[in-house]
A = this chain, B = another copy of it.
Amino acid sequence: MEKWLRSLKTKTPQEGFELAITLAQKGVQYTQPSEKIRKKLRPKYARNARSLISASQVVAINFQTIAAANHYWEKNDDDLSQFLF
């Protein structure tokens, strides 16, 4: 598969959340590589409340990982580094 994930670092929490969505989608794509089949499934599950909640759950788990990788986007860390380096 082509390069699609170079870093877990993002500039903002929102970009981190959007990366979490990408990871959730990639988890599906690796299991079902056919774009044609995935597109066929989409309209159905996107109108199913429980599928949408499950999707949101996968996003939440991936967001945990990304938030930790970005030290929860704490600006204090950066400020301190000004003094340390």
Partner of A63, one of B3, B6, B42, B65: B65
Copies in the complex: 6
Contact A60 B65 (CB under 8 A): yes
Judge whether B67 and A67 touch: CB under 8 Å.
no
Interface hub of A37, A51, A59 (most chain B Cβ within 10 A): A59
- 7 new A-B contacts, CB < 8 A, other than A28-B56, A54-B54, are A8-B72, A27-B60, A31-B52, A49-B51, A57-B57, A60-B61, A60-B65
Residues of A within 8 A of B (CB): 1, 3-8, 12-14, 17-18, 21, 23-28, 30-32, 37-38, 41-42, 44-65, 67-69, 72-74
